[in-house]
Amino acid sequence: MTTTADELREEVRRRYAESARAVTERSGGCGSGSCCGDEAEPSHFGEVLYDADQHGELPETATLASLGCGNPTAVAELRDGEVVLDLGSGGGIDVILSAKRVGPTGTAYGLDMTDEMLALARRNAVAAGVPNAHFLKGVIEEIPLPADSVDVVISNCVINLSVDKPAVLTEIARVLKPGGRLGISDIVAEDRLSSDARAERGSYVGCIAGALSKGEYESGLDAAGFDAISVEFTHEVADGMHGAIVKAVKTGDPASRGLPVIQAATSAGCC
């Protein structure tokens, strides 16, 4: 039976709602079937990808709710006063860390479609004492922010879950300012793997079946209007499937084209 886009999105929403409830009820971090579930070794996903200093900046429920495949705040070189947007912000770990990095003159937005995760993230931001962290409800294919309003877009193992990835990349380009930066962690396939081969290695909700290949990511970002595109594998999560650091710069600022404005993570990044 063919699964529709709406059914896939609802499955993702349901699983992440379960994960948020699990953290709230103190019954565990990842919950069942999330990106840090049984389909990959625990060391490839979740809170273990953040260092001890970062853990010290966060409420426990923020780290428990981490379902990502990397540490995008180690990828993006955030600066005082910048506006940062985290796509699929979950329990708020990357938004909180970003809010601290950009300081009181900056702003960190988190976008998530799951009410349970949004409620958890807002509680975590209050506990962390970061009034410049704000959480929005919506889908990453239709970002509820104005054009040219964001300096940096980050994301942690979420774009692979989208049911319309070209729309996501186009929306990222729309909200970024000219010369704005993209620095994300995601699961990415080797170009040799077909869509069917990716599905054989894991489920859609498990962050595997829906992953783009390296070439698809590069061509998609180019089509959306990005320069300085880089897709760097960091660690293997299944045969031919890797955690990856994806970086790019929005076309429009000649001074920024080709410059290394986003630094690579010093530790193994992504999903």
**Whether CATH 1.10.1420.10 fits 5-256:** no
Q: Residue 220: how many CB atoms within 10 A of its CB? A: 18
- State mean pLDDT over 217-240: 95
Which whole-number Å values give the CA distances from 232 to 80, 167, 171, 177, 184, in the listed order?
27, 22, 22, 24, 11
CA distance 78 to 61: 24
Q: In the structure, what pLDDT confidence band is assigned to residue 25 with cuts at 50, 70 and 90?
A: low
The percent helix, strand, coil of the chain (3-state, each to 5) is 35, 25, 40
Q: In the structure, what pLDDT confidence band is assigned to residue 59 with cuts at 50, 70 and 90?
A: very low
- State mean pLDDT over 113-122: 91
Q: Which residue has the higher pLDDT, 27 or 135?
A: 135
Q: Is the pLDDT of residue 8 over 80?
A: no
- State mean pLDDT over 186-214: 88
Q: In the structure, what pLDDT confidence band is assigned to residue 251 with cuts at 50, 70 and 90?
A: confident
Q: Is the pLDDT of residue 15 over 60?
A: yes
Q: What is the pLDDT of residue 21?
A: 65
Cβ–Cβ < 8 Å for 206, 35 = yes
* All residues at 6 or more sequence positions from 8 whose CB lies less than 8 Å from its CB, including other chains: 163, 204, 210
Domain ranges of the chain: 5-256
Question: Across the chain, what does the average pLDDT equal?
Answer: 78
Q: In the structure, what pLDDT confidence band is assigned to residue 20 with cuts at 50, 70 and 90?
A: low
- State mean pLDDT over 102-118: 95
What percentage of the chain has pLDDT greater than the value 70? 69
Q: How far apart are the first and last CA of the chain?
A: 29
Cβ–Cβ < 8 Å for 39, 203 = yes
Q: Is the pLDDT of residue 260 over 90?
A: no
Cβ–Cβ < 8 Å for 153, 182 = yes
Highest mean pLDDT of the ranges 25-29, 41-45, 71-75, 88-92: 88-92
Q: What is the pLDDT of residue 245?
A: 93
- State mean pLDDT over 135-152: 97
Q: In the structure, what pLDDT confidence band is assigned to residue 104 with cuts at 50, 70 and 90?
A: very high
Structure tokens at 244: 């990856």
Cβ–Cβ < 8 Å for 250, 226 = yes
Q: In the structure, what pLDDT confidence band is assigned to residue 23 with cuts at 50, 70 and 90?
A: low
CA distance 269 to 235: 8
Nearest to 3 by CA among 158, 205, 224, 215: 205
Cβ–Cβ < 8 Å for 71, 244 = no
Q: Is the pLDDT of residue 125 over 50?
A: yes
Q: What is the pLDDT of residue 258?
A: 40
Q: What is the pLDDT of residue 256?
A: 41
Q: Which residue has the higher pLDDT, 77 or 155?
A: 155
CA distance 76 to 24: 29
Give pTM, 2 decimals. Answer: 0.77
Q: Which residue has the higher pLDDT, 267 or 113?
A: 113
Q: What is the pLDDT of residue 269?
A: 34
Cβ–Cβ < 8 Å for 157, 67 = yes
